């Protein structure tokens, strides 16, 4: 036994035996086998203390000891705290004692009287098992994944350090607990409990992978995204003895996945922006070319109509007899002229919208005396209003100071609003234009406003918010239904916004009012 002696001399054994003579005999047997007995204890408390102090490689533990604590309790405490293997050496083999001892997963169980050869085999078997388990445990502890081992009834038999960190449960707390207590899973989207893969692995007797987007609820209530798999464990006969669950924190992978997805979305958005810019440029080019190409023949047509009217007038056809003939000629010439002017207005509005949308227009800010400017703009519509038997009135508040703005845009805005007012105001109704300071205290900066009102026209409340839409037509309104709003009001809104103002419409008590509010910029 010389070779074995060289191997086993380094094995340090603590003997726990309450009968002194038996303890001495056991020490002699161990030393004859080449083991080193570092001390003898006769009670559980002393055994625990010596185990903590001396850290033996192996403990031979009697079950019946002096004091309140027996050897089984001492062995369980030592293994849980120090992971030192214990072999029970006892004269008791009754069922209850054996069952209690088995629950502590001992490394051996030797009945007295002890035979030296049986003692040697038991010790060597225990040391070999302990070495294998420690190697496996060190591998599992060193893994980056959490590992949980359960028996067929889902009681936890092992949990490594990573699993302790992720679940918040220590090994001594988790041991023997049901897996569903320690390892709770919920669906990330629904926040409802989801099936544990170990249950499926045991039922289907195969490896089961966890579905994506699953969260682990740790002991402190925090949730952790995880990915894992479960595999059944089998003994040498192929019988399933439990299952092992391997899982990891999936946070970083998901963050990387989300970053990649965000990058891909950003690339797609960039492509869409470039394509949108290209389409917008095509639209701008089309509008510019088409508008100019349309304006030239329309201008020529308007000129031709005027020349034709002049020639017919010189030849006396417009005053010819019978009167019905001359009336028909005049009527058709008037229709041609009005339609031509409408088309020219449409083309002009398209050009204006293109210029404003493309931000090509440069504001020419000047000082404007509203008391002089506004009546001058109104004068151009007086003859038209009189022809329609409408009353056109203008009023400018005397306390309105000269303002800084773009004369051209302001003139265009008021002209479009007056065009609409003259066109849609019934005969013998009134059109008013008022300019004044805004007295509201809600505005952060001082404002001034121009209000164009006309009587005899009501715009339904539900249609008022859409009156500035391109080519919008108010339902159930004969005049507006046939001709629509065209581009005039749409252009007005864009021009007002370009001047950093706002426009609104109200229609109550037989009056419709368009209110343009602008910042009061003074000299």
CA distance 498 to 356: 7
Helix, strand or coil for residue 351? helix
DSSP state of 178: B
Which of 209, 151, 160, 200 is closest to 179 using CA atoms? 151
Residue 193 · residue 203 · CB < 8 Å: no
Give me 84's structure tokens.
């030192």
What is the pLDDT, as a whole number, of residue 199? 85
Indicate the CATH number for domain 2-140: 3.40.50.2300
Q: Please give the chain's pLDDT, 523 residues, in tens.
A: 444 444 445 899 999 998 888 889 999 989 888 899 999 999 999 999 999 999 999 999 999 888 889 999 999 899 888 889 999 998 877 888 888 888 887 888 888 888 888 889 989 888 888 887 776 666 555 556 888 888 989 998 888 888 888 889 988 888 888 988 888 888 888 888 888 888 888 888 888 887 668 888 888 888 888 887 888 888 778 888 888 888 888 777 777 777 888 888 888 888 888 888 887 777 666 666 665 566 566 666 667 667 766 676 666 666 655 555 555 666 666 677 666 666 666 666 666 666 666 666 678 899 999 999 999 999 989 988 888 899 999 999 999 999 999 998 899 899 989 988 888 888 889 999 999 998 766 657 789 999 999 998 788 887 887 888 776 665 544 444 444 446 678 888 888 988 989 999 998 888 999 999 999 887 6
The residues near 407 (Cβ < 8 Å, ≥ 6 apart) are 364, 366, 368, 373
Radius of gyration of the chain (CA): 49
What percent helix, strand, coil does the chain show, rounded to 5? 50, 20, 30
- Side-chain half-sphere CA neighbours of 139 within 13 A: 6
**For 238, left (φ over 0), alpha (ψ -120 to 50), or beta?**
left
Q: How many CB atoms lie within 10 A of CB 55?
A: 12
Give me 184's structure tokens.
């709770």
Q: Which residues pair with 223 in a beta bridge?
A: 217
CA distance 363 to 122: 101
| Residue reference for tokens 């109509």 | 305
Pairing relation of β-strands 214-217 and 184-187?
antiparallel
Give me 66's structure tokens.
């002096």
Burial 104-135 (b: 16+ CB within 10 A, else e): bebbbbbeeebeeeebbebbbebbeebeeeee
The residues near 267 (Cβ < 8 Å, ≥ 6 apart) are none
What is the pLDDT, as a whole number, of residue 3? 42
Range 365-519: architecture per CATH: 2-Layer Sandwich (3.30)
Between the CA atoms of 87, 89, 94 and 99, what dihedral angle is there, to the nearest 10 degrees?
-10
pTM of the model: 0.42
Alpha carbon of 214 to those of 92, 147, 188: distances in Å? 50, 17, 5
Burial 354-388 (b: 16+ CB within 10 A, else e): bbbeeeebeeeeeebebeebbeebbeebeeebeee
Could you tell me the end-to-end alpha-carbon distance of the chain, in angstroms, rounded to an integer?
115
Give me 506's structure tokens.
């109200």
Q: Count Cβ atoms within 10 A of the Cβ of residue 407 and give its class: 0-12 exposed, 13-18 middle, 19 or more buried.
A: middle
Topology of domain 144-249, CATH: Beta-Lactamase (3.30.450)
- Enclosing H/E stretch for 442: none
What is the pLDDT, as a whole number, of residue 1? 41
């Amino acid at each position: 036994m010389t070779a074995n002696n060289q191997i086993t001399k380094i094995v340090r054994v603590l003997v726990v035996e309450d009968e002194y003579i038996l303890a001495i005999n056991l020490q002699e047997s161990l030393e004859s086998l080449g083991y080193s007995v570092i001390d003898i204890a006769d009670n559980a408390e002393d055994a625990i203390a010596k185990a903590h102090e001396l850290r033996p490689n192996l403990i031979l533990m009697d079950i019946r000891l002096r004091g309140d604590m027996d050897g089984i309790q001492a062995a369980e405490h030592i293994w849980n705290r120090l992971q030192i293997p214990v072999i029970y050496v006892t004269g008791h083999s009754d069922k209850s004692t054996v069952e209690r001892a088995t629950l502590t997963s001992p490394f051996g169980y030797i009945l007295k009287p002890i035979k030296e050869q049986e003692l040697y085999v038991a010790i060597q078997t225990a040391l070999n098992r302990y070495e294998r388990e420690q190697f496996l445990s060190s591998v599992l502890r060193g893994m980056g994944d959490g590992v949980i081992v359960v028996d067929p009834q889902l009681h936890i038999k092992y949990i490594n350090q990573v699993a302790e960190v992720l679940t918040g449960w220590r090994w001594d707390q988790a041991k023997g607990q049901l897996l569903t207590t320690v390892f709770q899973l919920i669906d990330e989207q629904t926040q409802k409990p989801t099936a544990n893969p170990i249950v499926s692995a045991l039922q289907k007797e195969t490896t089961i992978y966890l579905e994506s987007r699953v969260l682990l609820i740790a002991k402190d209530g925090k949730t952790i995204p995880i990915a894992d798999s479960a595999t059944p464990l089998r003994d040498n006969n192929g019988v399933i003895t439990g299952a092992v669950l391997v899982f990891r924190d999936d946070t970083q992978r998901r963050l990387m996945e989300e970053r990649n997805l965000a990058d891909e979305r950003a690339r797609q958005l960039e492509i869409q922006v470039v394509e949108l810019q290209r389409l917008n440029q095509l639209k701008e080019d089309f509008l510019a070319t088409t508008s100019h190409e349309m304006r030239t023949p329309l201008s020529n047509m308007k000129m031709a109509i005027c020349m034709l009217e002049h020639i017919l007038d010189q030849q006396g056809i417009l005053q010819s007899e019978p009167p019905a003939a001359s009336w028909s000629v005049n009527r058709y010439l008037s229709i041609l002229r009005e339609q031509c002017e409408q088309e020219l207005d449409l083309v002009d509005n398209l050009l204006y919208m293109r210029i404003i949308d493309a931000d090509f227009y440069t504001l020419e800010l000047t000082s404007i005396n509203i008391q002089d400017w506004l009546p001058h703009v109104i004068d151009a519509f007086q003859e038209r209003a009189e022809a329609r038997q409408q009353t056109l009135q203008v009023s400018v508040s005397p306390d309105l100071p000269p303002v800084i703005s773009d004369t051209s845009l302001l003139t265009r805005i008021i002209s479009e609003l007056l065009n609409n007012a003259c066109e849609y105001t019934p005969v013998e109704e009134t059109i008013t234009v008022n300019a004044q300071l805004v007295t509201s205290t809600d505005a952060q900066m001082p404002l001034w406003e121009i209000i164009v009102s006309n009587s005899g026209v009501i715009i339904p409340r539900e249609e008022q918010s859409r009156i500035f839409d391109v080519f919008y037509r108010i339902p159930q309104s004969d005049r507006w239904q046939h001709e629509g709003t065209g581009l005039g009001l749409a252009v007005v809104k864009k021009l007002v916004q370009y001047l950093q103002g706002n426009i609104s419409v109200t229609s109550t008590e037989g009056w419709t009012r368009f209110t343009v509010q602008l910042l009061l910029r003074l000299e």
